[in-house]
Amino acid sequence: MESSTRMLDHGTPPERFARGWHCLGLADSFRDGTPHRVEAFGGQLVVWEDTQGNLNVLDGYCRHMGGDLTQGTVKGDEIACPFHDWRWGGDGKCKQIPYARRVPLRARTQRYPVVIRNDQLLVWHDVEGSEPDLEILPPVLPGLDEGLYTPWTWEVVPITDSHCRELIDNVVDMAHFYYVHFSFPTSFRNVFEGTVATQYMESKGRPDKAGGYGSPDLFLKSEATYFGPAYMINWLEVDYKGFETEVVLINCHIPTGPDSFTLQYGITVKKPEGIDDDTAAYISKKYAKMFGEGFLQDVHIWKNKVPVQNPLLCEEDGPVYQLRRWYEQFYVDRADVQPEMVDRFEFEVDTTKANEYWQEEVAENLRLRAEQEASGEAPEGADDAENPQIMSGT
């Protein structure tokens, strides 16, 4: 082999799961008096609501003989193991062993500190066992509690054969929005600082892949911010033929194993004035479907690609290395976080050349389609009607 041949460095997997806040789902979905199982951090968690209305999260296996607490029963404020009825409290302590004279002093299990934020249940995870850092929680969405937004639509998608960093990489990946999600990114910027990483993007739909929301009349202004390693808020201003909608997309995930994670995404739409709640909820569902399909487009790529630690970049690519440097802070001990991982970094991609080329390509596709239609053949891309034309953040 020639020495100038570029080799892919697949790297080795990280030996831990990221430090930070992770969203387990909509808080209300856990409030039914039964224990819930959430696969997370290489194992499983048990989630239940106590009589005070608090949500509690513990490691899913009983410290006595390893019984599966998610198959247990909520008794009073505690979760009772199905194996021998040991009762565990939300503080991680065993409160009662009904058949025993006393509870061993060492009967403490792993508990996960929780916060309810924007109607969602967030847990703090840190292999070093630190206190939860409330300073770096995702912000409260204004107007949500005041009823200005539609109820969340919420989807859960298990992803196998991919490390969750593949999802993170999309924050800087300008060109994939054209190829994978069929939109033109016309403006693309990134800012990373501390535990926060943002993508600012303006884009419009590709007319050659039209259908659904796809249209040259569709413009999108997107601001997508990761607050920590696993929770993104994506503020979207959608302009379709002059009709503006404000959409908030939550894109979050829970790592489940060394090459698997659970993707969750939620959508809420600011209720447009003069539109009734049912119609607003319908619009919200439409967007949820569109973004759901967008994620599946990503998943197909992830499942078939190989990991690459040494991406080869061109001038039109985003700052992959800087983003990964930022992301690495969540995988090292607090004491080992380096200044360059958290120092502010700003980047603006020049999309001029890319858009010149893409406009030509799309024009050619439209010309070919018109030709085919004129000759009576089924136009290529007619089955693209289901494809979402706008995608952002990921």
Partner 1 sequence: MPSFVPTSADTLEDQRLYTSARLVEVACLDCLARVGVKKNSEHHTSIQWTAEARGHCPELNRRTGGRDFQPACRRLVASIEAAARDGQVPIGAEDGY
Position among 244, 336, 340, 364 found at the interface with partner 1 (CB under 8 A): 340
Position among 335, 339, 374, 375 found at the interface with partner 1 (CB under 8 A): 339
Rounded to whole angstroms, the Cα distance separating 4 from 10 reads: 18
Mask for 113-152, x = binds partner 1 (CB under 8 A): --------------------------x-------------
For 28-85, where are the E strands, in sequence order?
Answer: 36-40, 43-49, 55-59, 73-75, 78-80
Window 220 to 259, contacts with partner 1 (CB under 8 A): 223, 225, 235, 258-259
Question: Tokens 């024009």 appear where?
Answer: 363
Rounded to whole angstroms, the Cα distance separating 2 from 21 reads: 46
Window 155 to 194, contacts with partner 1 (CB under 8 A): 161, 163, 165, 191, 193
Position among 317, 332, 355, 365 found at the interface with partner 1 (CB under 8 A): 317
Check residue 11 and report its DSSP letter.
-
Q: Check residue 347 for interaction with partner 1 (CB under 8 A).
A: yes
Q: Check residue 282 for interaction with partner 1 (CB under 8 A).
A: no
Q: Is 173 helix (H, G, I), strand (E, B) or coil?
A: coil
Rounded to whole angstroms, the Cα distance separating 65 from 69 reads: 11
Binding window for partner 1 (CB under 8 A); candidates: 32-40, 268-276, 311-319, 382-390: 311-319
Q: Is 392 helix (H, G, I), strand (E, B) or coil?
A: coil
Q: How far is CA 91 from its chain centroid?
A: 28
Taking the complex as a whole, how short is the minimal distance between the CB of residue 283 and partner 1, in angstroms?
Answer: 23
Position among 83, 293, 337, 345 found at the interface with partner 1 (CB under 8 A): 345
Mask for 17-56, x = binds partner 1 (CB under 8 A): ----------------------------------------
Contact criterion met (CB below 8 Å) for 324 and 332: no
- 1: tokens are 């082999």
Amino acid at the residue 377: E
Position among 1, 105, 306, 378 found at the interface with partner 1 (CB under 8 A): 306
Rounded to whole angstroms, the Cα distance separating 36 from 49 reads: 10
Rounded to whole angstroms, the Cα distance separating 294 from 129 reads: 36
Using CA of residue 32, residue 33, residue 34, residue 40, what is the dihedral sign?
positive
Q: Is 61 helix (H, G, I), strand (E, B) or coil?
A: strand
11/147 with CB nearer partner 1: 11
Position among 310, 333, 363, 371 found at the interface with partner 1 (CB under 8 A): 310
Q: Check residue 299 for interaction with partner 1 (CB under 8 A).
A: no
Taking the complex as a whole, how short is the minimal distance between the CB of residue 128 and partner 1, in angstroms?
Answer: 18
Using CB under 8 A, list all residues that contact partner 1: 7, 9-14, 139, 161, 163, 165, 191, 193, 196, 198, 223, 225, 235, 258-259, 306-310, 312-315, 317, 319-322, 325, 331, 339-340, 343-352
